[in-house]
């Protein structure tokens, strides 16, 4: 019954991936050269216009948008080629085009042989070694590319063979095209992140590669090294593969999808993974495009229907919903963004962190903005896709909401703070990626994803409004982790949820929907934090951590998970602690800051790799608070200054720079901050009762920028030349 109520709620969420107030056709004001083919990668986009010129934009760290160009290409820029192109496909960090004479040219990364030119040296453009063959179709995946050759329409692939993505039994990458046996007569081939599918000569779909999300549709989760028949499909005319799901269009116009379904990307009315094809309520499709967590179908009348939710979408639809696009000729799915060719214009929506929407701008905030409508904020919390703030005992949340983590009763997100009803005066709030908890007057309420029992209730998919956690003594503080939660009382710590890495701290690895007591704490706990699958508490003045330790985030000089608390060997008493997905930082009584765990993006503020022992962060003065996110951290000094380090992506270092900084840099706009927090997508600071945020435009509560990002606006392709 709960699932039916949820589905009905979602139908009123607005058109998935689009601002519900935008209803204009994208092509009305388009004056650029008509686009005939387009491809969207992880964070870049390319298009072929009707005269054969190729235009690319977005991230360019590997030369995938413009070989030899800047790190970001914000406006569509022509890629110099030897002859006109007729088709383009974009992978994670590589782009390939099919040329007018049937040759194939690629550019970008080639560390796995993605350029297909026999070399592991990247950039290009470079001619793929076809041995005299000609291509009639191409596709690019994460680190792999494929083509159908003209002579017998067999499939050839090159690049990474991780998870057998090349369709080869031998687990070896290849910098030159390799034939996939018994694929002659193929009508179509498509690559996802680490798997591929082809329509064979008889119209049957055959898939190979990674299968951890059931994306092969073979009724199991077993990887395949050769194309294997997908049962339950009628003759197919089109298909599309993404990270963990796949969709096909049958000759009749029916759409079937299979694989992971965490955001409703299968379009079948629920969030349940399907190991075999499941029918979508569409019977007049001609093409389909599967993105990371959103899918769109081109209908016979040129309209576009979408379902699921993109990572940067405020809407979620469990069933297909028509969009405002009415003259679509190609669906162009990316990872963080989606595009469609509509009336000759390439219209894109979703993430624009690196200019991948082709508008000449980026959708990031580098200067902290005051979040309006909050009043005097006393505390706040950042999830990976949401922000919550407490003001005068009231709670407001905003951001993305695919898991119900905002607690507003629906799965629609918002760039405007929304009032949340908990039933008690709120004193504090904590959030992670998929769920949120708030506490006050000794009570605790949680909401969002209910899987693994992380919100203290029987495992259900999503709780859309706050739900009290029972069986707890009066609590003083709580911490939401990746798939578990913890709470601190006056004398103990209790945890519940998933326990595969010992994150519940009760010496076991068995999950529990009910709170269990953490054992082994030496003194009364006075602070509590939770990461993805590890947690830490200040007990007396010592720091104790437990749970996952694969990146050394427990700081005990090992990489062994610990189901009971261990004492972190710090050189002095601890006064503050912060954790993220795979790392931990602490402030000592003398103001020194130490960090340990994963050092990806220089998140630890040091130049070396991962650290399983605490390492000191060099700061210009003593600190009083530290925060750490997936890509870096910040420290608030006793002077009131804030210094940050790590990845600069998305404006998180307060500049447009993208390079990671191992040296903490001051953010002058944050002078006088009383509290600061950082995640992988945004940062916020509390200054004189005002909450100021930067990074992701939606999480920074920039309503106009958020609306523009989710509206299908044509990329600025120049006029025909």
pLDDT in tens, 566-575: 999 999 999 9
Residue 641 CA to chain centroid, in angstroms? 31
Give the HSE-up count for residue 311: Cα atoms under 13 Å, Cβ half-sphere: 18
- In this predicted structure, the answer to whether residue 24 has a pLDDT above a threshold of 70 is no
Q: Which residues of 54-82 are buried (b: 16+ CB within 10 A; e: fewer)?
A: bbbbbbbbbbbbbbeeeebbbebbebeee
First to last CA, the chain: 58
Residue 658: what pLDDT? 74
Mean pLDDT of 117-146: 97
Cis peptide before 125 (omega within 30 of 0): yes
* Better pLDDT: 9 or 83: 83
Contact 133, 183 (CB under 8 A): no
Beta bridge partners of 58: 44, 73
pTM: 0.93
Distance CA(158)–CA(441), nearest Å, equals 61
Distance CA(634)–CA(677), nearest Å, equals 7
Mean pLDDT of 148-174: 96
Sort 572 into a burial class: Cβ within 10 Å, 0-12 / 13-18 / 19+: middle
Query: What are 331-346's pLDDT values in tens digits?
Result: 999 999 999 999 999 9
Mean pLDDT of 642-668: 86
Distance CA(16)–CA(18), nearest Å, equals 6
Q: Cα angle at 36 between 30 and 42, to 5 degrees? A: 90
**Among 611, 609, 571, residue whose Cα is nearest residue 593:** 571
Query: What are 534-547's pLDDT values in tens digits?
Result: 999 999 999 999 99
Cβ neighbours of residue 8 under 8 Å, at least 6 residues apart? none
**Among 215, 213, 228, 119, residue whose Cα is nearest residue 167:** 228
Query: What is the pLDDT confidence band of residue 705, given thresholds at 50, 70 and 90?
Result: very high
User: What are the domain boundaries of the chain?
Assistant: 2-363+709-714
- In this predicted structure, the answer to whether residue 616 has a pLDDT above a threshold of 60 is yes
* Percent residues over pLDDT 90 in the chain: 90
Task: Give one DSSP letter per residue of 280-347, joined into a string.
Answer: ES-SSEEEEEE-SSEEEEEETTS-EEEEE--TT-S--EEEEEE-S--SEEEEEE-SSEEEEEETTEEE
Distance CA(396)–CA(404), nearest Å, equals 14
Distance CA(479)–CA(466), nearest Å, equals 15
The label of the residue with tokens 């696009």 reads 325
Mean pLDDT of 300-321: 93
511 phi and psi angles, rounded to 5 deg: -65, 160
Query: What is the pLDDT confidence band of residue 377, given thresholds at 50, 70 and 90?
Result: very high
Residue 112: what pLDDT? 97
Query: What is the pLDDT confidence band of residue 624, given thresholds at 50, 70 and 90?
Result: very high
Distance CA(478)–CA(454), nearest Å, equals 12
- In this predicted structure, the answer to whether residue 1 has a pLDDT above a threshold of 60 is no
Task: Give one DSSP letter per residue of 622-659, joined into a string.
Answer: -EEEEEEETTEEEEEETTS-EEEEE--GGGTTSSS--S
Residue 656: what pLDDT? 74
- In this predicted structure, the answer to whether residue 458 has a pLDDT above a threshold of 90 is no
* Percent residues over pLDDT 70 in the chain: 96
Structure tokens at 290: 């599967």
Residue 28: what pLDDT? 55
Residue 180: what pLDDT? 98
* Average model confidence (pLDDT) across the chain: 94
Residue 657: what pLDDT? 72
Query: What is the pLDDT confidence band of residue 4, given thresholds at 50, 70 and 90?
Result: very low
Range with the poorest average pLDDT among 13-22, 301-310, 518-527, 658-667: 13-22
Contact 159, 173 (CB under 8 A): yes
3-state SS, one letter per residue, for 661-692: EEEEEECHHHCCCCEEEECCCEEEEEECCEEE
Beta bridge partners of 197: 190, 207
The class that CATH gives domain 2-363+709-714 is: mainly beta
390 phi and psi angles, rounded to 5 deg: -105, 130
- In this predicted structure, the answer to whether residue 648 has a pLDDT above a threshold of 90 is no
Distance CA(697)–CA(703), nearest Å, equals 8
Mean pLDDT of 468-491: 96
**Among 40, 35, 177, residue whose Cα is nearest residue 103:** 177
Distance CA(570)–CA(596), nearest Å, equals 11
Sort 581 into a burial class: Cβ within 10 Å, 0-12 / 13-18 / 19+: buried
């Amino acid at each position: 019954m709960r699932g039916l109520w949820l589905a009905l709620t979602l139908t009123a969420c607005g058109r998935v991936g689009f601002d519900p107030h935008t209803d204009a056709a994208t092509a009305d004001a388009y004056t650029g050269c008509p686009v005939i083919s387009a491809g969207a990668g992880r964070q870049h986009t390319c298009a072929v216009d009707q005269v054969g010129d190729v235009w690319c934009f977005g991230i360019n760290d590997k030369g995938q948008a413009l070989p030899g160009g800047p790190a970001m290409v914000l406006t569509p820029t022509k890629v110099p080629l030897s002859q006109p192109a007729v088709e383009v496909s974009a992978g994670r960090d590589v782009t390939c085009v099919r040329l007018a004479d049937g040759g194939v040219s690629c550019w970008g990364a080639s560390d796995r042989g993605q350029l297909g030119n026999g070399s592991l040296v990247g950039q290009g453009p470079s001619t793929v070694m076809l041995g005299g063959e000609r291509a009639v179709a191409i596709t690019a995946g994460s680190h792999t590319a494929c083509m159908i050759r003209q002579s017998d329409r067999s499939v050839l692939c090159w690049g990474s063979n991780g998870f057998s993505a090349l369709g080869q039994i031998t687990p070896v990458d290849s910098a030159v095209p390799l034939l996939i046996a018994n694929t002659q007569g193929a009508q179509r081939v498509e690559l996802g992140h680490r798997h591929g599918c082809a329509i064979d000569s008889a119209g049957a779909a055959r898939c190979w590669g990674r299968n951890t999300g059931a994306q092969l549709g073979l009724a199991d989760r077993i990887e395949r090294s050769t194309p294997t028949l997908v049962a339950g499909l009628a003759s197919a005319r089109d298909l599309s593969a993404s990270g963990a799901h796949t969709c096909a269009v049958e000759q009749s116009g029916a759409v079937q999808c299979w694989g992971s379904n965490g955001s409703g990307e299968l379009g079948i009315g629920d969030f349940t993974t399907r190991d075999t094809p499941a029918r979508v309520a569409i019977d007049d499709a001609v093409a389909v495009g599967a993105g990371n967590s959103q899918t769109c179908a081109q209908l016979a009348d040129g309209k576009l229907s979408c379902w699921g939710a993109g990572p940067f979408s405020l809407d979620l639809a469990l069933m297909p919903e028509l969009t405002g696009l009415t003259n679509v000729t190609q669906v162009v799915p990316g990872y963080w963004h989606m595009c469609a060719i509509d009336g000759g214009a390439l219209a894109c929506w979703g993430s624009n962190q690196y200019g991948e929407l082709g508008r000449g701008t980026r959708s990031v905030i580098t200067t902290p903005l005051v979040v309006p409508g909050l009043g005097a904020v006393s505390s706040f919390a950042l999830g990976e896709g949401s922000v919550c703030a407490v003001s005068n005992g009231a709670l407001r949340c905003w951001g993305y909401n695919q898991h119900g983590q905002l607690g507003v009763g629906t799965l629609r997100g918002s760039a405007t703070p929304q009032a949340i009803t908990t039933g008690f005066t709120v004193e504090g709030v904590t959030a992670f990626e998929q769920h949120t908890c708030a506490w006050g007057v000794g009570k605790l309420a949680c909401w969002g994803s209910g899987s693994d029992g992380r919100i203290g209730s029987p495992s259900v998919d999503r709780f859309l409004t706050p739900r009290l956690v029972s069986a707890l003594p009066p609590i003083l503080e709580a911490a939401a982790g990746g798939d578990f939660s913890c709470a601190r009382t006056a004398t103990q710590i209790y945890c519940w949820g998933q326990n595969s890495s010992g994150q519940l701290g009760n010496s076991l690895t068995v999950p529990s929907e009910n709170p269990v007591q953490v054992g082994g704490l030496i003194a009364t706990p006075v602070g509590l934090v939770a990461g993805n699958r590890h947690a830490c508490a200040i007990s007396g003045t010592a720091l104790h951590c437990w749970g996952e330790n694969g990146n050394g985030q427990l700081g005990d000089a090992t990489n062994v998970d610990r189901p009971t608390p261990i004492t972190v060997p710090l050189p002095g008493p601890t006064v503050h602690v912060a954790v993220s997905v795979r790392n931990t930082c602490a402030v000592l009584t003398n103001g020194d800051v130490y960090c340990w765990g994963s050092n990806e993006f220089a998140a630890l503020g040091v130049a070396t790799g991962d650290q399983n022992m605490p390492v000191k962060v060099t700061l210009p003065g003593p600190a009083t608070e530290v925060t750490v996110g997936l890509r870096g951290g910040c420290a608030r000094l006793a002077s009131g200054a804030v210094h940050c380090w790590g990845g600069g992506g998305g404006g998180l270092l307060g500049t447009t720079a993208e390079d990671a900084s191992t040296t903490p840099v001051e953010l002058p706009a944050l002078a006088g901050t009383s509290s600061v927090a950082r995640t992988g997508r945004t940062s916020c600071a509390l200054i004189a009762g005002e909450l100021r945020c930067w990074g992701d435009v939606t999480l920074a509560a920039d309503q106009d920028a958020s609306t523009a990002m989710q509206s299908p606006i044509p990329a600025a392709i120049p006029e025909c030349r």
